[in-house]
Every structure is written in structure tokens, then in C-alpha cells.
Structure 1
């Protein structure tokens, strides 16, 4: 879907992104993470040409992005910012309708799309679409920001630390909402964050940057079980591989509330003494697993539950 090939961005003598190469697969959440100044937002903004690259190539659907008309390309790439940036004088409906109007959608198609998207994110259309942004909570405003990015059904969504300004409860709820929403919309999402727990929870794959270089690109499982160097280990909390090998899925299930496995009939059932690496194999193929403990006590675990526990255990913190 998106390919970076030897991409470099310079500001005078300062190199912000240095010879960066990777592929972003269609339909995945690809997370860019790293310390402040590592080049993650610059990398994101080069995708929709908000920032021009200095050298190298970025391909979108196998064509260099320079071949696309810039404004049409931006209409076809949704963008969600940390600063919600809704138009305060417009209603929620008018905010969401901006790109469809530019693309000359009919009024009825726009109305149907707004109702569909607001319903999808748990906001009753008749209750919310005629309100102004100031009448909504921060979490509700950010939901509208996500909906606005989806309005014209773009294949790619760019999200630049979209939840970092929210309180922890709202932030976790929106993370969960995004995971559930992605099951329906199946978009290619490029997500910037500085929070390793958020990256582990949301990412299908993660790219950890340092001074414009990619230190490691891989799945959350790979970061937790096979960090490639000391910088990666330190960023995720100095992972102790030996302790990880001793950890079982039952250890994680013990800290998780009980679930009802009848709601998830297709999830595999694994014994509570199953090692984490084996559990990861099941989680790579299914949305969750059912952990079978003593006295046939069963609990549901999903990938994000496991990643959150492991990040907390290893001392991961916001950076």
C-alpha cells in the first residue's frame, strides 16, 4: 500500500529522517514511535506531502506520491491530529461534511454517510450532528475528528498522537474503540505515538525510530520477545527475556477480570500453564483466546490485554 525507499528529510544541515525504508501493508495499523525529535511526525507528514522529502521515494499503490495531484491526494488520505481542530462555528454535521462536499457528493449521500459514521462510533446522529464542538466532551470531539477523517471513505488514515491530550480513561476508551472500529473499516492506518503501551496495544506492526533511523520494525510480539538492540530494550522497559520465558498465560489471566467464553465460541482454549510464546501463536491467528484455569475457570484474553500487561510488567512508561 505505502512504501518508503531510502527516504531522507533534511532541514538545512539537520537530518530529521535518514535513509528510511519500509513497507506499510494494506489494512494494517502501522505505528511510528520514538523519543521526541526522532522524526516520527515528519515521516507521517511526508506521506500526504505536508512536508516534502529531500531524497528517496514514497510510493502509494505502487506510484510515487509526486505523481498524484496534491490536493486530490490529501482528500483521499484522512488525517487526525492531536489538536482536534474542529471548526468551532460549524455544526458536527458541517465539520464531517467538508471533504465529501469538496468531492461533490450529493446531499443525501453526505447525510447517509454522516449518520452511518456517527452510529459506528457510538454517537446517536440525531442527538449530536447539529451540536457545535464546544457542546461535546474532549473524547466526543476526538471521535468526531476520527469520523471526519473517514467521511469520504479514504483508503489511508494518518493519526498524529490523536489521543495524547485526553485523560487516561478517555484515552483508553478511544484506543479500544479504534481497535473495534478497524475490524469494520479495515483501513490502512499510520499512527504516531510516544507511548509504548499504546503502540503495543494498537499496532499490527511497530517502527521504533531513533534520530531518523528505524531501530526495529516488527510485531508487538517481536518487540517484547526479540528486541534487536539495547535501545529497543530500554525503550520498552529493559525487557528481561529470561523472565519472559518463565511467564505463562495464566499469570496474565490472574490479573484480568473473568469473562464468559460462550460469547466467543471461535476462540481457542489454552491451559493456564501455556507459555507466552505459544499463546502469541494463537493470538496471531485469532482475535482472542480462552484461558482455562483451575476448576475449569475460564477467562477471555485479547492481544491488547497481553501487550498491556507485559508493557506494565517491564516498566514501560510514556515517553
Structure 2
């Protein structure tokens, strides 16, 4: 038996380990959600990106990337319902890759219906699945087709409140580092009055703390300002709140990594997402970094008030 045939016949051991070293990202999601921006961002951090790849060719593409070796073993496959070969059995395709020894990471992009409609109308395009119906009809059909793909995702990016540059930075933060397999924690501040972040793994409520909005000299500033941060973090219970969640995330992160989770979103909310949640998110991310976790703070609703 030849060496290449032996590798194919034995999906364990050295061949499997080598394939596991190949970084494969599968990008899918709703039309208008930002797949093209994600693809360009991945190219910016050194990925070889294949757009509109038929699902039937995923294994062949993965093997080509594996055979290339070296730095070329970083590839992204963008799956699109516009492809005639598109299938809803993404779960089966992912399982087939894993049986070969690969460890694909699935990224799913989405947005609210009203946002998607505005995006299509702004470029005067029809939805690929709307047929003779309305834009909303095509979006609904696509959501149904991609329901299982969304459930499989390692990371879900809701782009409703993100512009192109914010989405690009998000992708580069997730995949741009040398250790892309390490658990990455995003501490995301938000305002409850604008809705919960749909991709949150933990939701923390900072509304038990006094609101700097009612302090005239702090009202117009944000939680990033030292005066506001000191005010928030100096309140009774704030220190224990941050420390408790820093400890919880630190204690659970090894388990998440063992189970193959690469991205963790910790959402910290207050009323408007301007003062308390921002200060807490910055402090929590700082403490997680001090504990040697890959953590960054992002602020979804900053600037909306």
C-alpha cells in the first residue's frame, strides 16, 4: 500500500493529527448578512478563501488545502444558497470532514429581517429565494433552509448593528492571531432597551448599580472615561460582581476548550449601553487578559444615545 493510500485508510494517528492542524473555516449565513465582508476579512489575515463553493466539493477542497502544507493550510469555504449544488445537509458535510481528521470551524452570519430588507433595497437587488414574492418571503425561506447550519455554528455573528469595518475587525480579532484554536472571549456591552445580543453565551445584568446618567457631570460621558469607570466600579457590589464573573469564566474556559468551543461571548447589559455596562465590560475583559485569557471588550450600543 502506498503512503498516500495508507494515510487515507487510517484516519487516526499521524494523518489525523496533521489534518487537525489544518485550519478550515466554513462561512455561511443569510444573504445580505455579510458573508462577503467576512470572506475579505479572512483573506486579510492570510486565509485562502473559496466563495460560493458547492457543498459536494468541501472534502476535495479540504484535502487540497491539507496537501498544500505549511502556511497554506488556512482556508475558508463560503457556502451560498445561490449555488445549484447547495444542500441543507451541512451537518453531514461537517461530519464527513471530521471523519477525515479535519476540525472545521463554522461561522454563521445573520441580521434582523428589517435590516436585511433595507440592505437589499439600498442596492436594488432581489433576494435569491424570493421568486415572485416579497423580499420578506425570500428571507423567511432562507432562514428555514439554514436553521440546521445555524445550530452547528461555532460562532454566530449578528451584523444588524455592525458596519463593514466593525464586522471586519470582529473577524480579524477572531482569526488573525497565531493561536486561532484558543478560546477567545468577547465581552460585549449592550443596552437592554435595544434588545439582547442573540449570540450571547452569558448575559450579565449591571442595572443593579446606580446609573451615572443621573450624575450631571457624568451624564454626557461613557463608561470608557476614567471618571465614569471609577464611579461605576466604586459602587457597592461592583467589585464582587466583576470578580465573580471573572472567576467563573476562568474556571469554565478549560472545559469549553476541551469541548471544542473556540468563541465565548459574555454580554454585559445596562439600560442604554453607555455607562455601567461599558465600564464593567472593559474591567472584566482586562481581568480576563490578566488571567491569560484571549479577551477583548466590544460595545454594541455605544453612541446610540
**TM-score normalised by structure 2 residue count:** 0.29
**TM-score normalised by structure 1 residue count:** 0.28
Higher helix share: 2
